[in-house]
Amino acid sequence: MTKTRVEDLDWNNLGFEYHDLPYSWTEEFKDGQWQGGHLTTESTLTLNEAAEVLHYGQEVFEGLKAYRTKDGQVNLFRPDQNAKRMVNSAKRMMMEPYPEEKFLEAVKAVVKANQEFVPPYGSGGTLYLRPFMVGTQPVVGVVPSNTYTFRVYATPVGAYVKGLNPVPFTVSKYDRAAYAGTGQAKTAGNYAGSLLPEMEAKKAGFADCLFLDPREHKYVDEFSGANFFGVTKDGQFVTPKSESILPSVTKRSLLQVAAELGLNPVEKQLEVDHLDDLAEAGAMGTAAVISPVGSLTYKGKKQVFYSETETGPVTTKLYNYLTGVQNGDVEDKFGWVVPVDLD
């Protein structure tokens, strides 16, 4: 695949897609230890036909972004939280955890090596980083791999969802993950399993689908690739508490932002039949940051939250605060921003 050149890119029309940049990071685990990571110009992985990941799915990944500020600095947003989550995901999938300090070293090195591909401030673009790890040992029986490859690649992306515009969602008849299953791990199978529900939702005219808890199908869990939040009519920020949803870095951040804004945030079970107390609702995650939920259709009944055409004032305030911190325009009171040394 031909390497992408800066001059090939239109910063204002990037889309959300892969570009083969000059450098990635790679490290192998074998003989009981990590072998030492380094930058590589090779963007292709070679796997044995019996590799663990191809048959038994030992894979975990992360997603985070690097942001260009007004003064030209490049910042990461809470990469330590992605590092911790990847360790937890690896443990759940019986994989060798990638050390957190190595994770931070790797993502910083990839940003620095590809710094010319960090979109300019004001373009709406970011440098998306995808750390991932796969089991590589050739196996036939169902056993965990004893060799792994950890990689980090980067690609410049535009906004995952253009503009803060409300969109319609529907409640899925499928489960995203099992109770006490792998829902809290960021692993490929969870996303593969959500492709059919998401496609069916889109064919029916919705932006995505909302999954319910897998035990009782009574409580809100999450969307196919984002967590759910609501703002009650009396101004409280609420978000589901569940054992089967991914612990979102964006969610954790918005809980703190909501507290800073006096929204008395709480995590609790949210009954899908009793969402009429919500004045606003949204999907939150790294890719989209916040996508307002204009309406939610369940059992043929459509519930409109703030509006199907306009974003609610609290959702707007949350979005502006969080993206302001990420882009360096709002004071970082929480110590979330990590500058990358570009020299």
54 HSE (CA, 13 A, CB side): 12
Same domain, 146 and 173: no
Picking from 157, 185, 220, the residue at the C-terminal end of a domain is: 157
Q: What is the pTM of this model?
A: 0.96
Beta bridge partners of 296: 169, 303
CATH code, domain with 87: 3.30.470.10
Catalytic residue (one of 3, 65, 84, 186): 186
Residue 127 lies in a domain: yes
Together in a domain, 142 and 283: no
Q: Are residues 121 and 234 in the same domain?
A: no
- Tell me which of 157, 186, 207 is where a domain ends: 157
Q: Are residues 26 and 93 in the same domain?
A: yes
Q: Which domain holds residue 261?
A: 167-327
Residue 110 lies in a domain: yes
- On whether residue 210 sits in a domain, the answer given is yes
Q: Which of 123, 135, 86, 126 is nearest to 106 (CA)?
A: 86
* 124 and 64 together in one domain: yes
Residue 339 lies in a domain: no
Q: What is the DSSP letter of 234?
A: T
Do 139 and 177 belong to one domain? no
Are residues 128 and 191 both part of a single domain?
Answer: no
Q: Active-site residue 91, yes or no?
A: no
Residue 46 and residue 147 share a domain = yes
Residues 152 and 221 occupy one common structural domain = no
Tens digit of each residue's pLDDT, the chain (343 residues):
799 999 999 999 999 999 999 999 999 999 999 999 999 999 999 999 999 999 999 999 999 999 999 999 999 999 999 999 999 999 999 999 999 999 999 999 999 999 999 999 999 999 999 999 999 999 999 999 999 999 999 999 997 776 789 999 999 999 999 999 999 999 999 999 999 999 999 999 999 999 999 999 999 999 999 999 999 999 999 999 999 999 999 999 999 999 999 999 999 999 999 999 999 999 999 988 999 999 999 999 999 999 999 999 999 999 999 999 999 999 999 999 999 999 8
Contacts of 32 (CB under 8 A, 6+ apart): none
Q: What is the pLDDT of residue 164?
A: 87
For residues 78 and 188, state if they share a domain: no
Residues 26 and 134 in one domain: yes
d(CA 166, CA 152): 33
101 and 185 co-located in one domain: no
